[in-house]
Structure 1
Amino acid sequence: MNKKRMIENFLEMIKIHSPSNNERVYAEYLIKLLKELGGEIYLDEGYKNYGGNAPVIFAKFKGNLSGEGVTLAAHMDVIEPALGVNPIIENNIIKTDGTTTLGGDDKAGITSIIETLRTIKENNLNHRDIFVLLTPCEEAGMLGAKNIDWTSVPSNMKPATNMLVIDNAGRAGLIAHTAPSKYGITFTFNGKKAHAGIEPEKGINAVCMAAEAISNMKIGRIDEFTTSNIGSIKSTFPTNVVANHCVVTAELRGHFEEKILEMLNSYEKSCKNAAILFGGEYSIEKRHDYPALKPKDDLKFAKEFAKIYEDIDVQSELKIIGGGSDSNILAKEGFNSIIIGVGMYDVHTVNEYLVIDDLFKTTEAILKYITQ
C-alpha cells in the first residue's frame, strides 16, 4: 500500500463539501474513481423519496479467488460545519483548525476502501469478489440505506452477505458486531388554558403534567443493554397563560425488544397517571427508527477478521456498541455486518481528528482479508 497516496486522497476528499442531503458532487467524484479502478456500477435513486440529491453507489469488482465475496461499506455524508476544511497534519494525526469537523466520519472509511482497490489493481493481486456500497444521508437517520429499492438492484450487483462497515470510531482492531434497536418517542400533553395571574386554578398546566410524567420515568442508563434520553420539552406560551399543550421528544435504545417494550409500557403508564392526576389528556407516538444489529453466524465473520488484525500485530477487540448505523438497516436485508475502527476520534465535533497509523492498519487488514 502507498501511505503517502492514501493521505493525499483523504485530504482531497475532505475538501469536497458533502453534508447530508447534498452529497452529489462527492458522489460524482467517487463514481468516476470507482469506474477508473475497474468497477461495475449501479446507482440507486432512493434519494428522490426524501429530498436528497445523491444516489447509493453500488460497485462490483469481480475476483478470481473462490469462496464468498465481501462487501466494503461506508457513507458519503459528513456532519456540519464541514465547509472549507483546513486540515493540519501533526505527529501522525490529521485534525482541523478548530472551525469545522474533519469529515473522517466517514471519509476515512472511504479512503481505506479506495486504497485497498488501488493496491489490488496496481499489483494485479488475486482477490475475492469485492462489492462496494457507499450511502448518502447516513448521519440524517440512515435515509440512504433505508430508501434503497432492493427489488431493482440487478442480481449480479447484490452485495455479498459478509459486510465490512468501515465506520467505527476508535482505533484499528475494534470490531463492533452488535448494536441496539432504536425507537423515537413523542409524548403530547393537553391541558386547559386559563389566565395565569387572575384564575390559574381554572387551568390545567400541560408543562406540569409533562414534568410529573417524566419524573416517574427511568431515563438514562436503564441496564447494561438499554438506554433512554429526553431530547426536548416544548411549550411556547407566554408566562401569563396556563399552558394547555406540551410536546416531549425522547428516544429509547436496546438490544432486546422485550425490554424496550417493557420500558415503553412503563412510560405510557407514567403519562396516564400524570393525566389522571391533573385531569388532562396525553398521547404517545412511537417510531421504530431502526432494528437491532446482531451477528447472523455466531460471530464467525467477526472472529475471522479479528484473526486478520492479530496476524498484522494489531490487538483486536470484539464489541457491543450503543449507536446505530447503516448496518442496522442493512441487517433487515440479510447482511451480516461488522463495523471496524479506522482511527477517527471526537467525531461530530470541531475537535475531530484521525490517527494515520490506525487508518493504515485497518486498510492493511482489509487488503489481507480480501486477498488471502
Structure 2
Amino acid sequence: MNKERIIENFIEMIKIHSPSKNEKNYTNYLVEKLNELGLEVYLDHGYKNYDGNAPTIFGKLNGKIAGEGVTLAAHTDVVEPSESVNAIIDGHIIKTDETTTLGGDDKAGIASILEVLRVIQEKNVPHKDIFVLLTPCEELGMLGAKNINWNLIPEHMKPAKNMLVIDNAGRAGLIAHTAPTKYDVDLIFKGKTAHAGIEPENGLNAIQLASIAIADMKMGRIDELTTSNIGSIFSNYATNVVAEECIVKAEVRGHSTEKVLEIIKSYEKSCELAIEKFGGKYSLKYICDYPTLKPKDNLKFANEFKEIYKSLGIKSELAVIGGGSDSNILASNGYNSIIIGVGMYNVHTVYETLDTRDLFYTTEAILTYIKKRS
C-alpha cells in the first residue's frame, strides 16, 4: 500500500463534515471515488424513512475469478462535534486540537477500503468479486442499515455474505464476531397532582413512585453477558406541584434474548410492587432496537482472518463485545460479519486518536486475505 496516500486520503475525508442525517456531501465524494476506481455503484434511498439526506452506497468491483467474493463495509456518519477538524499528526498518531472529534470512527475504515481498492487496481491483483457497503446514520441506532430496501437492490449488486466491517475500536488484530441484542424500555409512572405546600397528602408523587420501582431493579452488569442501564428520568413540574407523571427510559442488552426479556419481566414486577404499596399506575413498553450478532459458520470466517493477521506477525484474537453495530442489523439479513479494528481510540470524544500503524496493519491484512482467496 501507499502509506502516505492513505494518510492524505484520511485527512481529506475528515475535513468533509458528515454528521448523522447529513452525510450527503461525503456520500457524493465517495461515489465519485468508487466510480473512478471502476466500481459499479447502486444507491439505496432508505434515508427517506428517517429524515436523512444520504443514501446507502452499494459498490461492486467485478472479479475474474469464480466463487463467492467478500464485502467490505463501513459507515459514513461521524459523531459531533465534527465540523472544521484540525488534524494533528504526531508521529504514528493522528489527533485533533480537542475541539472536535477526529472522525476516525469510521473514516479510518473507509480510508482502508479505498486503499485496498486502489492497490488491487494498480497492481492488477486477480480477485473474486469485491463488494463495498457504506451506510449512513450508523451512530443514531443503525438507521441506514435498518432502512435498506433489500427487495429493490439488483440481484447482482447484493453483497457477498462474508462481510468485513471495518469499524471496531482498538488495535488491529481484534476480531469481534459476537455482539448482544438491545431492547429499549420506556416506563411511564402516573401519580396524582396536588399543591405541594397546601395539600400534599392529597397527591401521589410519580417521581417518588418511579424511584421506589427503580430501587428494586437490577442495574449495571447483571451477568457476564447481560447489562442494563437507565439513561433518563424526566418529570417537569414546579416544586410546589406534586408531580403527576414521570417518564423513565432504559435499555437492556445481552447475548440471550430470553435472558433480556426475563430482566424486562422483572422490571414489570418491580413496578407492580411499587403500585401495590403506594397506588398510582404505570405502563411499560419495550422494543428490540437490534438483534444479536452471532457467527453463521461456526467461526470459520473469523478464524480465517485471524490466521491472516498472524501470518503478518500481528497478534490476533477473537472477541465477544458488548456494543451493537451495523453488523447486528445485517446479520438479520443473512450476512456473516466480523468487525475488525484500524486503531481508533477514545472514539465519540474530542480526545479521539488514530494509530496509523494499526490502520496499515489492517489494510495489509485485507489485501492479503483477498490475494489468498484468488
Corresponding residue for residue 44 of structure 1? 44
Once the two structures are TM-superposed, the CA of residue 164 in structure 1 deviates from its matched residue by 0.2
What's the CA shift string for 1:146-196, capped at 9, x where partnerless?
000000000000000000000000000000000000011111000001111
Query: For residue 365 of structure 1, what is the amino acid of its counterpart?
Result: A
Q: Does 1:30 align with 2:30?
A: yes
Corresponding residue for residue 88 of structure 1? 88
How far apart, in 1, do the equivalents of 2:332 and 2:270 lie? 32
Once the two structures are TM-superposed, the CA of residue 287 in structure 1 deviates from its matched residue by 1.5
Q: Does 1:109 align with 2:109?
A: yes
How far apart, in 1, do the equivalents of 2:279 and 2:290 lie? 35
Q: Aligned-residue CA RMSD in angstroms?
A: 0.6
Corresponding residue for residue 179 of structure 1? 179
What's the CA shift string for 1:9-66, capped at 9, x where partnerless?
0000000000000000000000000000000110000001111000000000011233
Q: Residue 343 of structure 1 aligns to a residue in which SS? A: strand
1:328-339 equivalent positions in 2, closer than 5 A: 328-339=328-339
Q: Residue 371 of structure 1 aligns to a residue in which SS? A: helix
| 8 Å CA contact retained: 1:128, 1:371 | no
How far apart, in 2, do the equivalents of 1:297 and 1:151 lie? 25
Q: Residue 268 of structure 1 aligns to a residue in which SS? A: helix
Once the two structures are TM-superposed, the CA of residue 212 in structure 1 deviates from its matched residue by 0.4
Corresponding residue for residue 320 of structure 1? 320
What's the CA shift string for 1:83-139, capped at 9, x where partnerless?
000000002000000000000000000000000000000111111210000000000
How far apart, in 1, do the equivalents of 2:193 and 2:178 lie? 47
| 8 Å CA contact retained: 1:185, 1:250 | yes
How far apart, in 2, do the equivalents of 1:356 and 1:198 lie? 66
| 8 Å CA contact retained: 1:78, 1:103 | yes
Corresponding residue for residue 213 of structure 2? 213
Q: Residue 43 of structure 1 aligns to a residue in which SS? A: strand
How far apart, in 2, do the equivalents of 1:258 and 1:151 lie? 30
Corresponding residue for residue 226 of structure 1? 226
Q: Does 1:135 align with 2:135?
A: yes
How far apart, in 1, do the equivalents of 2:262 and 2:345 lie? 34
How far apart, in 1, do the equivalents of 2:15 and 2:212 lie? 49
Once the two structures are TM-superposed, the CA of residue 272 in structure 1 deviates from its matched residue by 1.0
Corresponding residue for residue 271 of structure 1? 271
Q: Residue 207 of structure 2 aligns to a residue in which SS? A: helix
Corresponding residue for residue 62 of structure 2? 62
How far apart, in 1, do the equivalents of 2:362 and 2:65 lie? 22
How far apart, in 2, do the equivalents of 1:248 and 1:257 lie? 22
Query: For residue 113 of structure 2, what is the amino acid of its counterpart?
Result: I
Corresponding residue for residue 251 of structure 1? 251
Q: Residue 140 of structure 2 aligns to a residue in which SS? A: coil
How far apart, in 2, do the equivalents of 1:356 and 1:39 lie? 26
Query: For residue 245 of structure 1, what is the amino acid of its counterpart?
Result: E
Corresponding residue for residue 237 of structure 1? 237
Corresponding residue for residue 340 of structure 2? 340
What's the CA shift string for 1:236-255, capped at 9, x where partnerless?
01111111100000011000
Which is further off, 268-277 or 326-335?
268-277
Once the two structures are TM-superposed, the CA of residue 198 in structure 1 deviates from its matched residue by 1.2
Q: Does 1:370 align with 2:370?
A: yes
Query: For residue 295 of structure 1, what is the amino acid of its counterpart?
Result: P
Corresponding residue for residue 124 of structure 1? 124
Q: Residue 172 of structure 1 aligns to a residue in which SS? A: coil
Query: For residue 54 of structure 1, what is the amino acid of its counterpart?
Result: A
Gaps of 5+ in 2: none
For normalisation by structure 1, the TM-score amounts to 0.99
How far apart, in 2, do the equivalents of 1:156 and 1:371 lie? 22
**Length, aligned pairs only:** 372
Query: For residue 361 of structure 2, what is the amino acid of its counterpart?
Result: K
Query: For residue 72 of structure 1, what is the amino acid of its counterpart?
Result: L
Q: Residue 133 of structure 1 aligns to a residue in which SS? A: strand
Once the two structures are TM-superposed, the CA of residue 326 in structure 1 deviates from its matched residue by 0.3
| 8 Å CA contact retained: 1:20, 1:140 | yes
Query: For residue 271 of structure 1, what is the amino acid of its counterpart?
Result: C
How far apart, in 2, do the equivalents of 1:94 and 1:67 lie? 38
What's the CA shift string for 1:322-345, capped at 9, x where partnerless?
000000000010000000011000
Q: Residue 139 of structure 2 aligns to a residue in which SS? A: coil
How far apart, in 2, do the equivalents of 1:153 and 1:7 lie? 33
Corresponding residue for residue 155 of structure 1? 155
Gaps of 5+ in 1: none
Corresponding residue for residue 201 of structure 1? 201
For normalisation by structure 2, the TM-score amounts to 0.99
